[in-house]
Amino acid sequence: MTDAELQKIGEDVVDVLRSIYDPEIPVDIYELGLIYDVQVSSEGDVKILMTLTSPNCPVAESLPEEVKQKSGTVDQVREVEVEITFDPPWTKDMMSEEAMLELGFL
């Protein structure tokens, strides 16, 4: 795949991530800053590095699975791997300005 095709896949995956919401916070997981990295290999494999708002998050099992399933629906994505990390730990400073406005932090 060309670099442009790989970039398009990455952008499409991010668009999908923007459609997934934390059930406790009315903001999508991308704007919340839960997605640390999205990598697309030349074969169309996607690796997503993400975190949760806390290790005890009630959706710790289901949210990564939802990320994997929905990202896998993007055209030309062959396989999706989701890795959870707590380093660095999530803080509200990782939220986008849009998310902070939505939640009344600005």
- Helices 3-17 and 62-71: angle between axes, nearest 10 degrees: 140
In the chain, what are the domains?
3-92 (3.30.300.130)
What pLDDT does 16 receive? 98
Mean pLDDT of 17-39: 93
Q: What is the CA radius of gyration of the chain?
A: 14
**30 band by pLDDT with thresholds 50, 70 and 90:** very high
Which pLDDT belongs to residue 53? 87
Res 19: pLDDT: 97
Question: What is the tens place of the pLDDT at every residue in 51-101?
Answer: 998 888 888 889 999 999 999 999 999 999 999 999 999 998 999 999 999
Average pLDDT, the chain: 93
Looking at residue 33, its pLDDT comes to 96
